[in-house]
Amino acid sequence: MTWDGLPFGGAKLAALLGDALLVYRRDDAVDIPFPGLLDLPGGGREGGESPAECALRELAEEFGLTVATDRIHYSRAYQLGDGVTISHFLAVHLSEDEVATVRFGDEGQDWALLPIADYMTDPDAIPRLCDWLAHYLAAAEMIRCLDTTS
């Protein structure tokens, strides 16, 4: 995926297996954003990383999965609530073999492979990630419809 080179604060990744989403429950520490909520892989940018490099590094750190950047099939930038910080949301498909090799890192309480619909309606899901997932799903549906009419 191409990136405009503009500064950004971090990236989140929808890591998908079919209609399921790789999620983890954040720690309950009061000094972190969204304590105890269900989150997606990702985090803050390090050095000169691209959004894809940032998201995939976090996937490796948090879940022990190494995925090539050319497997990312969706990317969109969002301005966060402070009106300044840009965060990127990306998506990648995982295989069953990859999910079977997950080695959960030391951030968070536990992880799961959750149906996307369940995540989107879970009161513990991070609201902006639900919004971003909805945008992704709408884009994926539009592409699917275009493919079937060609």
For 134, the domain range is: 10-149
Cα–Cα distance measured from residue 74 to residue 92, given in angstroms and rounded to the nearest whole number:
7
pTM greater than the 0.85 cutoff: yes
Report how many domains make up the chain. Answer: 1
Specify the CATH number for the domain of residue 22: 3.90.79.10
Residue 119 resides in a domain:
yes
Residues 143, 52 contacting (CB under 8 angstroms) = no
Residue 3 resides in a domain:
no
Residue 4 resides in a domain:
no
pLDDT in tens, 24-46: 999 999 899 899 999 999 999 99
Residue 2 resides in a domain:
no
| Residue 51: pLDDT over 80 | yes
Residue 46 resides in a domain:
yes
- 86 closest CA partner among 94, 78, 74: 78
When pLDDT is averaged across residues 9-28 and rounded to a whole number, the result is: 96
